[in-house]
Structure 1
Amino acid sequence: MITQALSLSGWSPEAVVFDCDGTLVDNERHWQEARRRAFGAFGLTPPPGFAERAKGVHYADCGRLMAEETQKPELAADLTRALLEHFLALVADDPVTMPGAGELVRLLSGRLPLAVASNCPLEVVEESLAQAGLLRHFQHIVVPSGTSLDPGGGFPPVNGAGIVRPKPWPDVYATAARLCGVRPGAALAFEDSLTGVDSACRAGLRVVGVGPRPTEEDAARADLWVETLRAPDLLTWIRARVLERD
């Protein structure tokens, strides 16, 4: 069932930008397990509610958060490195697409410019999409600057030439819309995390939230909220505003 916060019924997207983890591929559970293993490797216990606070957060920021919330700031770099290593091992062994992701991407492919905006390293996004059979459908993949597999680099506090900051900064979505050749307000984002929803909104995109429905206040941060990408009402809207428009 689709829940409307701000109606999209009279609006048509000119490009679509997808988040990757938790939206296209089921990697969020891998991040959760990787966090558990990284905490355990240093004899630490995850603080209550940490999984929800960490959802959608860039892995380098997550490593720092893990260190801060366990009062071990000196372990920030080590926790970040362990987090990424565990995640890469998990995703290589068990790639799974989210319900309806493949069908929706293939439905839109060739009709609108498609992009991915992710907080993950480029290598992780490309490998995840390739294993899911979806990589060829996307013209652009945007990730934060410096997100190689070396977790040592940070991000500047303000944006500058050539710098793409991670979500919740708007940079990845603003850049994706620009690469697709459309104004941000003409692009539609799909996101599973409130961090990502905020990023897309700040960039000026319209947003569909995907996954278990949050509180009414949080759900209202997106234009629409659906439980999965195969929600019948969502597909009806896509057909009416994209497919039948051709």
Structure 2
Amino acid sequence: MTITEQPFLGWSPEAVVFDCDGTLMDTEQHWQDARVRALRDFGLRPAPGFAERAKGVHYLACGRMMAEEADKPELAPELTRSLLSHFLDRVADDPVTMPGAAEFVRRLSGRLPLAVASNCPLEVVEQCLEQAGLLAHFRHIVVPDVPDAYGATPQSGAPADAVRPKPWPDVYVTAALLCGARCERTLAVEDSLTGIESARRAGLRVVGVGPRPADGGGPVDLWVPTLRAPQLLEVHWVPPA
């Protein structure tokens, strides 16, 4: 679906599902810092363009990517552990929400079911949202239960009913169902191409937020610079009875 002047005219969501990193929480820089520090622990440096390739990628897949791009695949487990440890340290030091995110969530809270669909471990998402004072506003938090199946196919051994990471659609499908909403009547709020692909494959409508990628940001209904954008007022935030 392409962006129109009034993309949500006459449309009301039954639920809203948010990504966490880069959408609710200003943690993408924390992840980037953690990647650099993890590589530095092993005397390595990120390859050109790595930050953009890693954005939105599950941290286990990111650890493998770092090891493979350094031509040291045997270091994947250690790099992954180092990555998560550095990230948690950065979050504890600096739990910052994205511009307008806290106000937007509080405005919707109580009107609609709200959920989070993230590629991060559950404890990371809960810690971030709790420190930001937002955790209580979300009915459900959905994360992959087979995070190592990032590149899995049915033939590669991932269980058929597993919740796989983005860009698979599973976290968004699961979040909508837990909220009691139809996927086609659920709105996703995302900042990464990986997350947008996941939400679209799940059948959700999508608001992209943040700096818009050079390629346009994929098939979103609306792209806004922050969650303070006036275009979001077009959406009817109370679902029909």
TM-score by length of 2: 0.92
Which 5+ residue runs of structure 2 have no aligned equivalent? none
8 Å contact 1:194–1:218 — kept in the other structure? Answer: no
Retained in 2: the 8 A contact 1:5–1:220?
no
Q: 1:192 to 1:127 in 2, by over 3 A?
A: same
Q: Partner of 2:216: helix, strand, or coil?
A: helix
Q: Which moved more, 1:8-17 or 1:127-136?
A: 8-17
Secondary structure of the 2:125 match is: helix
Aligned twin of 1:237: 234
- Structure 1 gaps of 5+ residues are 148-153
Instruction: Check conservation: 2:17, 2:175, Cα contact below 8 A.
Output: yes
Cα deviation, residue 218, structure 1: 3.5
Do 1:19 and 1:192's aligned partners in 2 also have CA atoms closer than 8 Å?
A: yes
**In the TM superposition, what is the alpha-carbon distance from 1:157 to its structure 2 partner?**
3.0
Aligned to 1:71: 71
2:30 is paired with a residue of what secondary structure?
helix
Q: How far is 1:93 from its partner?
A: 1.2
Match of 1:189 in 2: 188
Rounded to whole Å, the distance in 2 between the matches of 1:93 and 1:25 is 13
Segments of 4+ in structure 1 off by > 4 A? Answer: 243-246
**Equivalents in 2 of 1:171, 1:110: separation in Å?**
25
**Following TM superposition, by how much is the alpha carbon of 1:14 offset from its aligned partner in structure 2, in angstroms?**
0.7
Aligned positions, number: 233
Task: Quote the Cα distance in structure 1 between the aligned partners of 2:101 and 2:140.
Answer: 17
Counterpart of 1:230 in structure 2: which amino acid?
R
Residue correspondence of structure 1 range 105-120 to structure 2 within 5 A: 105-120=105-120
Match of 1:151 in 2: none
Matches within 5 A, 1:58-137: 58-137=58-137
| Alpha-carbon distance between aligned partners in 1 of 2:48 and 2:135, rounded to the nearest angstrom | 36
Per the alignment, in what secondary structure is the counterpart of residue 218 of structure 1? coil
| 2:178 equivalent in structure 1 | 179
Q: Percent identity?
A: 67
| 1:8 CA drift (Å) | 2.2
1:27 aligned onto 2:27: yes
Contact 1:5 1:219 in 2 (8 A): no
Q: CA distance change for structure 1 residues 146 and 245 in 2, over 3 Å: closer, same or farther?
A: closer
1:227 aligns with 2:222: no
